[in-house]
Structure formats: structure tokens, C-alpha cells
Amino acid sequence: MLRFDILSIFPEMFRSPFDASLIGKAREKGKIEIHLHDIRDYAEGRHRMTDDYPYGGGGGMVMKVEPVARALEAVVPDRDGAIVVLLTPQGEPLRQGLVEELASWPRVVMICGHYEGVDERIRSHLADREVSIGDYILTGGELAAMVLVDAVSRLVPGVLGNSGSPVADSFSTGLLEYPQYTRPENFREWKVPDVLLSGHHKAIEDWRKRESLKRTWRRRRDLLEAISLPEEDRKILQSLILEDEQDGP
């Protein structure tokens, strides 16, 4: 079982998303646990302030280090078996390799940033990793935490059940997934490729590999630069490149 602990000033944002779909079912089956912690509970003063003006001036407010530190010390006092992740646009991109790494931990603790940013001491002394879900700015780390929980949970054995396997999904092999079809065979003259109806498993496998390479080449060439393809796949890719060159722009 994998446990998630989420530190946020808006824990109520998570309740509905985590009660539905595969995440809700995984929680019911005991495959994952999700615990929400309100950072305000660890703030001092009558107003339980979790932010303050930045030293040196500037616009916006900065999340204070003290309540975050107290929350972490209460939730994971010894940090044993846990990795602490700060959700921030300055973090490393959340790619499938990182998702797999996080899924190997028994406990993932997430700090949801807010305001203009977080006190640098949260980043440098309290977090083990900094993670970003994309090059854009959100109002806080809560939505990013939901994405991370969803991506990591799918890799926990038993979470997907009979709904599928994460092995063939896009990015799991470094490539985009091949096209998928289901019934009916013909809809408005949009037909399922004949090879998928043939029952010829080797031909289907070859078609899927070619389509996966084609889709990645045409949509996400940057992914191909990050992986080492087998010789057979490189030959297929080269033939696809030649086809595109012959067809022109």
C-alpha cells in the first residue's frame, strides 16, 4: 500500500476528486491511503497566518516556513520511508520516469505552495524533491498534487484492476501510445484498420509499433531524443521519416 500525505491551506479542494473514479475505488480497496493536512493548523496567532510580506520588498505574499516545518514534523517526525515533494513551477518536470520513482516509495508527502511563492528555506531544507506539472502558473499546488496522486496511483498494483495496464500507456515506453479502436467496426464510414480485425497477433504488434513511432515522430520528436531505440525500431523510424519527406510539407 502507498500512502500520500498532502499539506495544503485548502485541503477541502481534494475531497471530491479523491472520492471518485479509480482513486476512490483504490482507497476503498486499501491500495492507497490519502491523508489531508491543513497547514493553518500549525500556524500561530489568532488568524493562523501562513504567509507574510517578502524581505526586500516586492509584490505578493510568501508562504512562511514555520507552519510548514511544524506540519511536516507532526506528519512525518522521522521522515523514515517518506519522500517530501514540493509542488512548484520551478521544479523538475513530472515525467513518467519520475512518476515511477515516486511510486517506489511507501509514502509520498506533498507540500502545496501558494501565494507568490514559498520561503526558500522550505525548498532548501524541508523538501527532498521539487516537482512541476508544466511550464505555467497555477494559483497553488493543489491541482498539481492531484495530478501527481493520479499518475503515481496508477502504478500501484491492483489500482487499475481489469481496466488496463500502465505498461503500454503513452510515455511508459518513452513513446506515445498507438491508436486504439473499439466497436463498431464502421461508424459513418470511419473504419477500424483491417489489421486490427485480422486476428494476426504479430501483424497487429508490428502495426502498433509502427503507429507508435509515427505518432511520436509527428507529435513529440523531443521524446525520441531522450530514448535509445532498438535497431529494428530505428529502421522503422527512418522509413517513416522518408515517407514524410516524400509527401512534403
Give the pLDDT confidence score for residue 59 in this predicted structure.
85
Q: Residue ranges per domain, the chain? A: 2-153, 170-247
Distance of CA 69 to the CA centre of its chain: 25
Q: Which helix (H) or strand (E) holds 24?
A: helix 21-28
2-153: which CATH architecture?
Answer: 3-Layer(aba) Sandwich (3.40)
Give the pLDDT confidence score for residue 116 in this predicted structure.
80
CATH 3.60.20.10, applies to 170-247: no
In degrees and rounded to multiples of 5, residue 32 shows phi and psi of: -135, 155
Angle in degrees, CA 91, 135, 222, rounded to 5? 95
Give the pLDDT confidence score for residue 173 in this predicted structure.
78
Distance CA 217, CA 219 (A): 6
- pLDDT in single tens digits along all 249 residues of the chain: 999 999 999 999 998 999 999 999 999 999 999 999 999 999 998 889 999 999 999 888 999 999 999 999 999 999 999 999 999 999 999 999 999 999 999 999 999 998 788 999 999 999 999 999 999 999 999 999 999 999 999 999 999 875 555 555 556 678 999 999 999 999 999 999 999 999 999 999 999 999 999 999 999 999 999 899 999 999 999 999 998 888 766
**Residues that are catalytic:** 89, 116, 154, 169
DSSP symbol at 240: H
Give the pLDDT confidence score for residue 115 in this predicted structure.
79
